[in-house]
A and B are shown apart, each in its own frame.
Chain A
Amino acid sequence: MPHDWEASTRRIRATFAGLSDIDRVPFFPLACEELICRISGKTLRELLSSPKAYANAAIATYEFIKADTLSIPTAYAGPAEALAFAEVNNKENVIKWSDYKVFMVKQGDICKSEEDIERLEIPDHSKISLWDTCLSATNLVKEKTRFQQSCSLGIWSVVQELRGVQAYRDMRRNPELLLKLCEKVYQSQLDLYNFFIEKVGASRTIFFTGYAFNKHMMSFEDAMKYEGQFIKQLQKETKARIILHNCGTNPYFDEMCNELELLAVNGSHPLDIEYWVEFKKNHPEVTILGANIDVSRELLNGTTRDVEKIVKENIKKLAPGGRYAVSPICCLPWGVSLNNIMTIPKAIKKWGTYPLNFES
């Protein structure tokens, strides 16, 4: 049976809106470059050879895993943005390409010195071939499936790629310099957002990777200073609603919901399901995409029964009342068996069809 993207759209919209007219809990996976390469059998360079090739492979991948969401991965707002900075600042040699996974950037090489930050040119994304391909592919995906696309952005993930570990020294020794870099990254993200609108159309939601918001990395005040204030500015300028992704092990989800207006959170830690039950009580307007289905646990090491068990537990605890989608965190690595991945949509159909019934 062909994949019904219209039905997926209805599920996702109703979930975000907290509406009850929904047939089942949606499946919201993050299929990164690696999974698309794996399913399509193509190298990343082959995928990037044309928007059509990338769009078709992405659609085939998301349909194969029976997802209710669909996007062209843009390297979790880190490496792809670093690549754009590398190109306009003549530092392409810091990019390392791989065949069947995302390219990477040598952390800290683009902004090694203070002078590098002062002189850092902000990319014009329309002139970066990789971004042109990714966003053209995103538009093709939208045209073919009519599935609404979100722009994917981030600040600290990019800062870490550009400045590396030195960013943490700057935080105490040269905060002004670090803020200058954050500001430049923000300007670059705005340029990317505008290019997205030009190529794909309006983005009602922004999938924002907020890596600063990890308790073991920095205080909440610092996270707000170096990333949160820019999320606020972004919200003000774009009027888009934010889905906040953080796959770290100790995220500030509660604090962020109190400080920022979020549509949804996408993360898997803390792994205690009761945290998420409490989170849902405390933030009833915020959709949970994730909870405690972490790729490095049941999906990687467990059996299909283990996967079904955890999906059932998540649905049982979080789906009543809506505003919940099953979302393993984070990207699905090569070592995860396809059987385990495919168990998720099966388990959702079995346990997540409304009205929910956990008796059988």
Chain B
Amino acid sequence: MGEHETLLRLKNAIIEGLSEDATYLIKQALDEQIKPKRILNEAIISGAEEVGKKYENGEFFLADMLLAADAINDSMDLVKSKLEEGTHYSQGKLLIGTPEGDIHDIGKTLIVALLQGQGFDVIDLGVDVPPEKFLDMAKKENPDIIGLSGLLTVTISKMTEIVSLLKREGIKAKIILGGGILSEESCEHIGADAWTKDGWEGVKLIKELMGVV
């Protein structure tokens, strides 16, 4: 099989969310001496972009996005370890969590998978996270972006508390909010830099905030 065909099959496996096929093809591509950076750009990132386009066109839904994200992450794990020494591929560092009082995590799980697939280093604090933990981890990890994800309307007041604590303590990271409960007005009220109501839109916004579009 030629290099082009291997990369194309890998890209298609990612789009279709076939993790096992994707990891098999990554190994094959590496055996064929295709450079890891080429695998990354021409198959994985290109596949991820195609997945995003299909979602925007209404061809793909949450289930397809999630499976594609799984395939992307499995592939990334294999390729990252083969990148040339000293090459640290990262689009930025993001700290994310669901604020205290809310333990929903479907939206957060999806965006974490999508961001990792796009080359971000993501620190997932989990659910029901108190404001102080966001602050401690922000100080320790110095992320570029902090994401607060929530499903319930009751989470809005906790988001406000967290954002004001982070700002008061001088945290410079941009803050993005995620969840169907949000609006332009509530984002402004809470004092965040951006908001999103779905995972893929969130990825695009984060890339914009990072200047990596």
Contacts and interface: CB of A to CB of B under 8 A. Distances in A.
B67 A335 contact: no
Nearest to A335: B157
B211 interface: no
B160 interface: yes
A360 B10 CA distance: 67
A165 B58 contact: no
Given A171-B63, A247-B180, A297-B186, A165 B106 contact: yes
Contact of A169 (B67, B127, B183, B198): B67
B207 interface: no
A302 interface: yes
A12 interface: no
B156 A168 contact: no
B183 A168 contact: no
Contact of A165 (B64, B105, B154, B182): B105
Contacts of B183: 271, 294, 296-297
Interface stretch (B84-92, B96-104, B163-171): B96-104
B66 A169 contact: yes
A101 B126 CA distance: 20
Interface stretch (A114-122, A185-193, A197-205, A326-334): A326-334
B63 A168 contact: yes
A249 B197 CA distance: 8
A190 B79 CA distance: 50
Interface string B61-85: 1111011001000000000000000
A105 interface: yes
A217 B103 CA distance: 19
A98 B101 contact: yes
Main secondary structure of the interface of B (DSSP, over half): loop
Contacts of A296: 153, 156, 181-183, 185-186
Contacts of B180: 247-249
B176 interface: no
A172 B17 contact: yes
A216 interface: yes
A335 B62 contact: no
B6 interface: no
Contacts of B70: 169
A333 B159 CA distance: 13
A48 interface: no
A295 B153 contact: yes
B57 to A, nearest CB: 12
A333 B109 CA distance: 24
Contacts of B152: 331, 333
Contact of B105 (A164, A297, A334): A164
Interface in A294-319: 294-298, 300-302
A300 B189 contact: yes
A219 interface: yes
B198 A333 contact: no
Interface in A99-140: 101, 104-108
Contacts of A180: none
B110 interface: yes
A160 interface: yes
A164 B156 CA distance: 22
Given A168-B106, A296-B186, A218 B61 contact: yes
B154 A334 contact: yes
Interface string A239-270: 00000000111000000000000000000000
Contacts of B50: none
A96 interface: yes
A34 interface: yes
B102 A333 contact: no
A222 B110 CA distance: 19
A172 B103 contact: no
Which of A101, A331, A333, A335: most chain B CB closer than 10 A? A335
A331 B61 CA distance: 27
Contacts of A169: 63, 66-67, 70
A331 B153 contact: yes
A346 interface: no
A169 B68 CA distance: 10
A173 interface: yes
Nearest to A76: B152
Contact of B109 (A34, A165, A222): A165
A34 B101 CA distance: 12
B128 interface: yes
A144 interface: no
Interface in A156-176: 160, 164-165, 168-169, 171-173
Contacts of B160: 335
Given A216-B198, A217-B61, A160 B154 contact: no
A253 to B, nearest CB: 15
A216 B61 contact: yes
A338 to B, nearest CB: 14
B186 A333 contact: no
Contacts of A283: none
- State the 6 A-B residue pairs at the shortest beta-carbon distance, nearest first: A335-B157, A333-B153, A171-B63, A301-B189, A168-B63, A296-B186
Interface of B: 17, 58, 61-64, 66-67, 70, 101-106, 109-110, 127-128, 152-154, 156-157, 160, 180-183, 185-186, 188-189, 197-198
